[in-house]
Amino acid sequence: MSKSPLIEVKNLKQYFPIKTGLFKTEMLKAVDDVSFYINEGETLGLVGESGCGKTTVGRTLLRLYEPTAGEVLYEGTPVTDKNIFSMRKKMQMVFQDPYSSLDPRMTVEDIIGEPLDVHKLYSGKGERRDKILHLMELVGLNAEHATRYAHEFSGGQRQRIGIARALAVDPKFIVCDEPVSALDVSIQAQVINMFEELQEKLGVAYLFIAHDLLVVHHISKRIAVMYMGKIVETGTADDVNYNSIHPYTCSLMSAVPIPDPDFIRGRQRIVLEGDVPSPLHMPSGCPFRTRCKHACEKCAEAMPPLTDRGNGHMVACWVK
Amino acid sequence: MEKEYLLSVQDLHTSFFTDSGEVHAVNGVSFNLDPGEILGIVGESGSGKSVTAYSIMQILESTGKVVGGKILYKGDDLTKWSSKKLDKFRGKCVSIIFQDPMTSLNPVFTIGNQIEEAIKLHTDKKGKEASDRAAELLSLVGITDPEKRLRQYPYELSGGMRQRVMIAMALACEPDILIADEPTTALDVTIQAQILELIQELQKKIGMAVILVTHDLGVIAELCDNIIVMYGGRICERGTAREIFYNPKHEYTKGLLKSIPNVNNMKEKLIPIAGTPINILNLPKGCAFCARCENCMKICLDQVPVELSINENHKASCWMNVKEVFEAEGGKK
């Protein structure tokens, strides 16, 4: 490819030290050697079960955590401690919980205006106000809401405030960490549509982290599936959903509750045995082998690399 | 004589008495449950679905009260029962599993202790007999090495495992009805699949009736024979799963089905329901959904819609289905 992707993540590792005894500390490998890229104006969906490290990937990307190893490149420039302040003008985040991610003592105007203040993106009070009102309009909030406090809004509206705050610095890339999972079903569609419309209008790229596979499939162009800190399969949304290859992805897809009685009752579900192993005692080789029907000797020896199965559909499995 | 149902809820009204006044959480809900039936109650927060379930169990918070209607268990109105009689009823005739398996187990007692408690309370099994039964229940819900698990504390188990323990507790006395209040919402998809499979299997094996309360239409589609859709404390539509999903007749159900991603609308834009969820502190005079309904008519603002039979397996409460009203209002369809 001639042009470098907007975001490129190379061999990212994020280990957390966990005290397991009085003098003993073990490393919890939350993210273990993860690489992916996101093109301009594109959405990459990141799915996986709780504890698989998907949120940590998002946070490490924005240096909310200092990565243990690996690199994040923005348009080819490495994101480091030194340039993170200016990088955050280009990369932003929307959080899962619209109740705890907004300061209850700030008005909507101040919440959305804070990034503008931090990065000094206006020349006078009038311009600040204009920018805030423009952002509010962009996410579908009324101008008269500007002087209200977060608690006066419903979950969906709060999430809109959070999105307006992320958009304030005019970023090219937003990490969306489970942005709709705290919302009521009837509100989710409003917010999903808004994400899509904003992308069309502003050309912003998303890393869309969620556990609801139908939502992720709907919004994403490409999807990456994580299991215990590793990406096990990635490809176009349709490939990952309809032609899944990795046994974990297959069982994940077959377990998604689909709101269509005839379809779902005719479906063969692959129910996985057992639970996710403790991340402190990761199985050797492929982390999924303890629950995998196809596991063989080789799986215990080494982690399979991601190999291309055509059309950029990458799968990490020795057997399939 | 009228048919005697296993459970018959008739015109149930439940209110909470708070500082800001009486909150009408459930406003006239009626339904019947047959033995072995899986009934789904679906709705968003504030729809009254959980309060309906808690009313049946009579485990409402102290501010909540059933203010009208009857709940007949095998023909006997349990809202009039003494608390002593209710103690015998809960767990033995009807049990409930809650959404959050993390907080519904007592952290200071072992798993064995908590399962045996239910067994000792409702049967004359004691000591070894009770713990044998507890171990048997754990293997029934698919937990390996039950003897070891009985000695463990909740914190030693994973989320899916804890939900299995909750189910084992609920099944301890082989109740006629199992109420599952969002049983899988806190769990991951693959664990959710295990739990749903388990509920289905047990329902077939033991033949109990299940009331599944959830907001997840996918879970409902998978498991339920009959479905009740609730909004603003009222039932807006009820029917068999196929009728509700393929022939919805209430504007809320229609909107809900269009607003969720599904296998066949991946490339299309979702059509959201406008507005915000209902504030039950401030219920409208007419149809609860009128403020968000695209086809709202004058009558909808003033009068609560009557429940109309669409066919023998399907009823909906929407004025749009009442032909005379619809035409008189000059509505467009």
Burial-class residue A266 by CB neighbours within 10 Å (0-12, 13-18, 19+). exposed
pLDDT at B1 over 70: no
**pLDDT < 50 regions, chain A:** 1
Q: Do the Cβ atoms of B39 and B228 come closer than 8 Å? A: yes
Residue A183 sits in which domain range?
A: 7-90+171-315
Task: Provide the token pair at B22.
Answer: 């009486």
Q: What is the mean pLDDT of residues B22-41?
A: 94
Q: Is residue A95 part of a domain?
A: no
pLDDT at B221 over 70: yes
Is A248 within a domain?
yes
pLDDT digits (tens, 9 = 90+) for A195-234: 999 999 999 999 999 988 999 999 999 999 999 999 999 9
B222 and A265: CB-CB below 8 Å? yes
What's at B46, amino acid-wise? G
- Please report residues of B whose CB lies closer than 8 A to that of A238: 266
Q: What is the pTM of this model?
A: 0.88
Average pLDDT over residues B311-322: 92
Q: B194: closest CA among A251, A211, A185?
A: A251
Residue A96 lies in a domain: no
Q: Which of A260, A268, A280 to mutate to test the interface with B (most CBs of B within 10 A)?
A: A260
Residue A79: inside a domain: yes
Asked if pLDDT for residue B178 goes beyond 70, the answer is yes
pLDDT in tens, B37-88: 999 999 988 899 999 999 999 999 889 999 999 999 999 999 999 999 998 8
Mean pLDDT is highest, among A212-226, B88-102, B263-277, for A212-226
Chain A residue at shortest CA distance from B184:
A257
Instruction: Please tell me the distance in Å from A155's CA to the nearest CA on chain B.
Output: 9
How far apart are the CA of B255 and the nearest CA of chain A, in angstroms? 8
Residue A264 maps to a domain: yes
Chain A CB contacts of B101 below 8 Å: none
Tell if the CB–CB gap between B160 and A193 is shorter than 8 Å: no
Strands (E), A68-204: 69-74, 77-78, 91-94, 173-177
Q: Contact B242/A257, CB-based, under 8 Å?
A: no
Handedness of CA A92, A96, A101, A102 (dihedral sign): positive
Say which DSSP state B87 is in. H
Q: Is residue A77 included in any domain, yes or no?
A: yes
Assigned domain for A138 exists: no
Q: What is the pLDDT of residues A24-49, one digit of tens each?
A: 888 889 999 999 999 999 999 999 88
A221 to chain B, any CB pair closer than 8 A? The answer is no
- Cβ contacts of A310 within 8 Å, gap of 6 or more: none
Which of A47, A52, A180, A186 would you mutate first to test chain B, the one with the most B CBs within 10 A?
Answer: A186
Q: How many domains does chain A have?
A: 1
Per-residue pLDDT at B256? 92
pLDDT digits (tens, 9 = 90+) for B138-153: 988 888 889 999 999 9
Confidence at residue B238, expressed as pLDDT on a 0 to 100 scale: 96
Residue A25 lies in a domain: yes
Q: Do A154 and B217 touch (CB under 8 A)?
A: no
Please name which of B74, B94, B241 lies closest in space to residue B181, comparing C-alpha atoms.
Answer: B94
Say yes or no to pLDDT of B111 above 80.
Answer: yes
Residues of A with Cβ-Cβ distance to B266 under 8 angstroms: 217-218, 237-238
Chain B positions in Cβ-Cβ contact with residue A259 (cut-off 8 Å)? 217-218, 220-221, 245, 257, 260, 262
CATH code for the domain in which residue A83 is found: 3.40.50.300
Question: What's the pLDDT at B333?
Answer: 43
